[in-house]
Amino acid sequence: MQKDSTTHFGFDEIPASEKQGRVGSVFDSVANNYDLMNDVMSFGIHHLWKKLTLELCGLKAGHCVLDLAGGTGDLAIKQAAKVGESGEVYLADINAAMLQQGRDRVIDKGLVGRIIPVQCNAEILPFADNTFDCITIAFGLRNVTDKIKALSSMRRILKPGGRLCVLEFSKPVCEPLEKAYNFYSFKILPQLGEWIARDRASYQYLAESIRMHPDQETLKNMMTEDAGFDEVTVYNLSGGIVALHRAFKY
């Protein structure tokens, strides 16, 4: 019998076949407080990170967009405003509890039909080749078991000339900032999770998963050398705490 390959769940090494289920349990737990915790954890700065991401998407009226790991739908709703009534936005997430939050928000905003919720796995995207003008994934790639498989799947469904924007936690570019960030991540963040969401363990996983995610240059190489993307540009935000990788399919 072939031994199951392993991967990381936070700092723990686990069978790769178990990661999807464990990550799912985390997001089942945090879904109801996800937006509130994002605001608290980032001091609201995540709105600026997503604003830059939206600007670099290059969206136009009539474009077809996929927001992967879109969860509560905040980015997808802004994308819908950019592509207009002639465009389409697909709000995709693997987690049913997170996607339900997004569906509810889409209904509240009167955007049913313009934003289409889809529950799917980023590694096996259920769309035809050359479908999308733009794909975004914000703070979701680090939770994917096989990142290269997911990136390759994204490239397949992008139209020639289309672009991918990956917004993700990354590695601070200077040592003093990194030390302060480590203290915040491992001492303050889990405590905030316990106080606000009554879930310390999920936010401990969050801190650990950030540290296990590829740094800026490693992810850039994965996107170009392994997944075949072109012209990958890295934008360090907040001193590299977050990085935006923008890539094209030519």
Q: How much is the pLDDT for 69?
A: 96
Q: What pLDDT score was predicted for residue 1? A: 37
Task: For residues 19 and 14, give the distance between their C-alpha atoms in angstroms, rounded to a whole number.
Answer: 7
Measure Cα distances from 115 to 52, 74, 143, 174 in Å. Answer: 21, 11, 24, 40
The pLDDT of residue 32: 84
Per-residue confidence (pLDDT) for residue 4, from 0 to 100 = 65
Each residue's pLDDT, cut to its tens digit, for the chain (250 residues) gives: 345 689 988 888 889 888 888 888 888 888 888 888 888 889 899 999 999 999 999 999 999 999 999 989 999 999 999 999 999 999 999 999 999 999 999 999 999 999 999 999 999 999 999 999 999 999 999 999 999 999 999 999 999 999 999 999 999 999 999 999 999 999 999 998 898 888 899 889 988 999 999 999 999 999 999 999 999 999 999 999 999 999 999 9
The pLDDT, as a whole number, for residue 14 is 87
Rounded Cα distance, 218 and 221, in Å? 5
With a threshold of 0.75, does the pTM exceed it? yes
What gap in Å lies between CA 77 and CA 116, rounded to an integer? 11
Structural domains of the chain, ranges and CATH numbers in brackets:
6-173+205-248 (3.40.50.150)
How far is Cα 108 from Cα 125, in angstroms, rounded to an integer? 27
